[in-house]
Amino acid sequence: MSEKAQVVLAMDERMNDESEIELVHHNSRLGSADDDDGVAGDRDIGLATAEAKPELKRPPMYKVLLLNDDYTPMEFVVHILENFFSMPREKATQIMLVVHSEGKAVVGIYPRDIAETKSEQVNLYAQENDHPLMSSIEMTD
Ligand code: TYC
C-alpha cells in the first residue's frame, strides 16, 4: 500500500470550470479493498472525492424592444415581426399596434448574443429598406 495520496478527479457534463471538487479524507482506512462505488480504490489510499453540487446558472436574458417612429409603414413592421421573430400574422399585427400606440414593445427574450444579433439584423434590414425603424435590447430584471 502506497503512502502517497492520490486524488481521483471526476468530471461530467454537469460540471464546468467553476465547479468545485470537495475532498473527503477517510482516516484509518489504509488497506481497504476497492469497493463498488465507482471510484476505483478510494479506500485503498485514504482519500475519496465527493462532487460538490454543480452550480448551474441560467444565462442572463435580454429583451428585444421594437421602437415606434412616425414613418415606417405598418406593413413593414408586421413583415419584420413575422420574419425575424416568427410571429403569426395576427400576433405580429397586434404587437405592431402596441408599438405604434405605446411607443415600444418587447418582441422577444433571448440570451445576450442572440438578442444582440436579432436587434442588429432588424436595424440593418430597416436601414437597407430606407425605414427609420429601430430595435434595441435591455437586460431582464
Ligand atoms: N408609427 C408608424 C406609422 O404610423 C408604424 C410603426 C409601428 C412604426 C411600429 C414603427 O415599431 C414601429 N406608420
The phi, psi pair for 9, rounded to 5°, reads -95, 125
In order of their start, the domains of the chain are 1-56 (no CATH), 61-139 (3.30.1390.10)
The per-type count for the chain, helices as H runs and strands as E runs, is 4, 5
Residue 82 has pLDDT above 90, yes or no: yes
Which of 6-15, 34-43, 104-113 has the least mean pLDDT? 6-15
Residue 120: enclosing H or E segment and its boundaries?
A: helix 112-128
Which atom of ligand 1 lies nearest, measured to the CA of 99? 9
CB within 6 Å of ligand 1 — which residues? 66-70, 72-74, 77, 96, 99-100, 133
**What does the CA dihedral 80, 81, 86, 90 come to, rounded to 10 degrees?**
-130
pLDDT at 118: 98
CA 21 to centroid of ligand 1, rounded, Å: 55
Residue 55 has pLDDT above 80, yes or no: yes
CA 74 to centroid of ligand 1, rounded, Å: 5
pLDDT at 84: 98
Q: What is the mean pLDDT of the chain?
A: 78
What string of DSSP letters covers 80-119?
HHHHHS---HHHHHHHHHHHHHHSEEEEEEEEHHHHHHHH
User: Which residue has the CA at smallest separation from atom 4 of ligand 1?
Assistant: 70
The total number of residues shown for the chain amounts to 141
pLDDT band at 42 (very low <50, low <70, confident <90, very high): very low
Q: Which residue has the higher pLDDT, 38 or 100?
A: 100
